[in-house]
Structure 1
């Protein structure tokens, strides 16, 4: 329970850093782009989106914590489904279209 709470706090902290438009070096894939490709990306918009996703993922993990605290499997399952749906949405949203191009 303490470990899960620590992970939630970590995700919230990363969300705060990213929502302020900073911390682009923490985004996997963006960090490994060549400098020519990085110049084509709207870094602020990408960071803000990832910050919102970090808040959403930490919210879904809160259901895991509540499921463990109340010994309720349906809360854990609901949080897990929400977490996986958010990850799939995030991958599809970022990789389709030119949403974060300058």
Structure 2
């Protein structure tokens, strides 16, 4: 039961960050983007990048909710669904954000 509580305590800051990013703010929190020089940052659509990362954080939060529910409801299937969702989101994020210059401004 304590693992579920820990998951829920992690979810709260993730959701706060997701809401903050969904407003188009907080680009300084995105790893890689915050270390770019200003000239290079000008080539990126900061709003689109923030909104994309907020959606990913919502998805990761949901997968953590599934992990917590699996412990509370004693349903091991939810653990595997939550883990698969989290791994899938991370792989998707890495591939999507690093290919195709999707967040570059025209």
Fold shared per TM-score above 0.5 = yes
Alpha-carbon distance between aligned partners in 2 of 1:73 and 1:2, rounded to the nearest angstrom:
17
Q: What whole-Å deviation, never above 9, does each CA across 1:55-76 have from its counterpart, x for those lacking one?
A: 1111111110011111222111
Bigger Cα displacement from structure 2, 63-72 vs 82-91: 63-72
For 1:40, which of 40, 43, 56 is the aligned residue?
43
Aligned position for 1:87: 90
TM-score computed with the length of structure 2 as normaliser? 0.92
Aligned to 1:7: 10
TM-score (structure 1 length as normaliser): 0.95
Measured in 1, the distance between the counterparts of 2:6 and 2:29 equals 21
**Where do 4+ consecutive residues of structure 1 move more than 6 Å?**
none
The count of aligned residue pairs is: 102
- Return 5+ residue gaps in structure 1 as ranges: none
Runs of 5+ consecutive residues of structure 2 not aligned to the other structure = none
Tell me the C-alpha RMSD between the 2 structures. Answer: 0.8
